[in-house]
């Protein structure tokens, strides 16, 4: 089965950001629609081709999960601006071909939502209102809850249609994709409801996914979503685990999962950036900058859509400052403006590196959405071992012996475990690149079998031209090193 087609096949990088944690235009310290509109060109310069917001509808004083709770499906929260502000933002995005995705969590219905209030009043007063049946009631008038809020019933066609009406409302204003969060918290989750929601979005050339978009549950497979990861959003390739454990098999598992997703008609996406500083700081602290650069490069060369979490793109070394009252929280997906300002003029900084790599991804089709095929690798030589390593230096002749002894065989297995090389092909098949990633602090020199059709390559970052000899390219990899090589001929 071929991959689903739509706008997402040419929008490779999505900035995953809350409105509240973005840019502030009115001085209250909280991001808003107008602040984002004023910085759209900055996003383009960063290589960003889309935005994924948390829910944008009115949440009043209920900011749990950063505004996911909807008190009114058809209005924006005044903290973010007016509906006119949102429409101006959407016009600015359309002018720059920046796609906008939004979280719309159907079970996060607030206590002040007009449909719940109407249902509660009708039940209390004995009125005939079909919305009463959207919920389950106790004899004392209390309602069954999900996440401590009214729990809508997805077996009720009236509720599903009302939810769809609000999706259509926002898609008419330019929203092009939806993340409906965790399906398994929906009351009476069923295939019919999922199909109705999916059909509504896909008919409007939209992208729809959930928290897991899982391969392990037949309900979601038959529900027809056109995007997924097979695991938690950030668990697709698990490159942080690969870096921390020196194990490239996580990448291979991700590729196998990718094939399954495509088989079931789901377009793969990868979320970049969950809790990376804390994890990198826990081990090999002296190498954490190299680890971050490796993770950025790996994501910038993935064949799938990448969602970059806003609060990690500058690799902050301290906790973010909470947003001011009335929110008073640190937002998941909050830009660290002070860190970005500090780093942006330093070409060696983490933020500058992120921007360089994702701008490269935006401009080079061979590094954007497309395909990835693993290439065989062969250890040529271990170079200078790190203090933490037990690997010793091997000579070139010994390492390439046709009949390696047990020690050499063990080290060859080690290079396969710590290194992943791939052939990247653009979506239209016209451009190719060879990408190599080394998930280890032990520098090495390896051979990558690229095939006899590839003769010359050029390093995307340094410009160095490399010749393939008899279908093999030799590359040297430092601690947590990588190579991104454009295929010239």
User: Alpha helix (H) ranges present in 400-453?
Assistant: 406-418
Q: Rounded CA gap, 304 and 13, in Å? A: 9
Q: Does the domain formed by 371-487 have CATH 3.40.50.2020?
A: no
Tens of pLDDT, residue by residue over 355-365, are 999 999 999 99
Cα(237)–Cα(253) distance, integer angstroms: 7
Sign of the C-alpha dihedral computed for residues 117, 123, 126 and 131 taken in this order:
positive
Separation of alpha carbons 382 and 391, rounded Å: 8
CA atoms of 296 and 288, how far apart (whole Å): 12
Residue 119 confidence (pLDDT): 97
Tokens, residue 155:
């077996």
Low-confidence residues of the chain: pLDDT under 50: 390-409
Alpha carbons 34 and 331: distance in angstroms, whole number: 19
% pLDDT > 90, the chain: 73
User: Looking at residue 408, what is its pLDDT?
Assistant: 43
pLDDT at residue number 461: 97
Q: Where are the domains of the chain?
A: 7-109+152-363, 371-487
Interval 219-274: pLDDT, tens: 777 888 898 887 777 789 999 999 999 999 999 999 999 999 998 888 999 999 87
Output the pLDDT for position 380: 87
Point out which residues pair with 465 in neighbouring strands: 458
pLDDT at res. 282: 64
In whole angstroms, what is the distance from residue 298 CA to residue 282 CA? 21
Buried b (16+ CB within 10 A) or exposed e, 197-208: bbebbbeeebbb
pLDDT per position as a tens digit, 366-413: 999 999 999 999 988 888 655 555 443 333 333 333 333 344 445 556
pTM of the model: 0.92
| Predicted pLDDT at 273 | 86
At 187 the pLDDT is 93
Taking the domain 7-109+152-363, which CATH number applies?
3.20.20.80
pLDDT of residue 284: 62
In the structure encoding, which two tokens stand for residue 173, read together? Answer: 């204003």
């Amino acid at each position: 089965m071929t991959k689903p087609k739509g706008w997402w096949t040419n929008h490779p990088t999505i900035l995953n950001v809350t409105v509240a944690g973005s840019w502030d235009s009115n001085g209250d310290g909280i991001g808003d629609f107008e602040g984002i509109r004023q910085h759209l060109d900055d996003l383009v310069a960063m290589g960003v081709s889309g935005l994924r917001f948390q829910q944008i509808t009115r949440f009043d004083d209920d900011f749990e999960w950063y505004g996911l709770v909807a008190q009114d499906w058809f209005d924006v929260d005044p903290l973010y601006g007016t509906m006119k502000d949102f429409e101006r933002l959407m016009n600015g995005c359309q002018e720059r071909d920046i796609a906008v995705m939004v979280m719309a969590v159907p079970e996060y219905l607030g206590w002040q939502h007009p449909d719940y209030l109407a249902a509660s009043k009708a039940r209390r007063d004995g009125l005939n209102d079909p919305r009463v049946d959207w919920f389950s009631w106790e004899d004392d008038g209390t309602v069954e809850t999900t996440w401590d809020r009214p729990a809508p019933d997805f077996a009720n066609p009236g509720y599903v249609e009302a939810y769809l009406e609000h999706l259509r409302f926002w898609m008419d204003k330019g929203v092009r994709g939806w993340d409906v969060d965790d399906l398994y918290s929906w009351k009476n989750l069923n295939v019919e409801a999922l199909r109705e929601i999916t059909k509504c979005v896909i008919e409007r050339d939209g992208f729809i996914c959930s928290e897991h978009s899982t391969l392990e549950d037949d309900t979601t497979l038959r529900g027809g979503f056109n995007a997924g990861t097979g695991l938690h959003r950030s668990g697709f390739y698990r490159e942080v685990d690969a870096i921390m454990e020196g194990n490239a098999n996580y990448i291979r598992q991700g590729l196998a999962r990718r094939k399954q997703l495509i088989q079931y008609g789901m377009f793969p996406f990868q979320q970049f950036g969950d809790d990376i500083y804390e994890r990198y700081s826990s081990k090999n602290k002296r190498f954490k900058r190299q680890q971050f650069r490796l993770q950025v490069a790996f994501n910038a060369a993935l064949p799938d859509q990448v969602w970059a979490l806003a609060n990690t793109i500058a690799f902050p070394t301290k906790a973010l400052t909470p947003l001011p009252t009335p929110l008073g929280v640190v937002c998941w997906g909050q830009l660290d403006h002070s860190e970005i300002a500090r780093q942006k003029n330093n070409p060696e900084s983490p933020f500058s590196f992120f921007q360089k790599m994702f701008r490269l991804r935006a401009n080079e089709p061979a590094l954007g959405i497309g395909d990835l095929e693993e290439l065989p690798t062969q250890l040529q030589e271990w170079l200078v071992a790190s203090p933490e390593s037990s690997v010793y230096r091997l000579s070139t002749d010994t390492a390439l012996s046709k009949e390696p002894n047990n020690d050499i065989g063990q080290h060859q297995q080690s290079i396969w475990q710590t290194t992943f090389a791939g052939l990247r092909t653009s979506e239209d098949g016209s451009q190719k690149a060879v990408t190599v990633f080394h998930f280890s602090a032990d520098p090495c020199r390896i051979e990558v079998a690229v095939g006899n059709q590839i003769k010359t390559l050029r390093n995307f970052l340094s410009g160095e031209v490399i010749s393939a000899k008899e279908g093999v390219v030799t590359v040297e990899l430092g601690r947590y090193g990588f190579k991104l090589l454009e295929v010239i001929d």
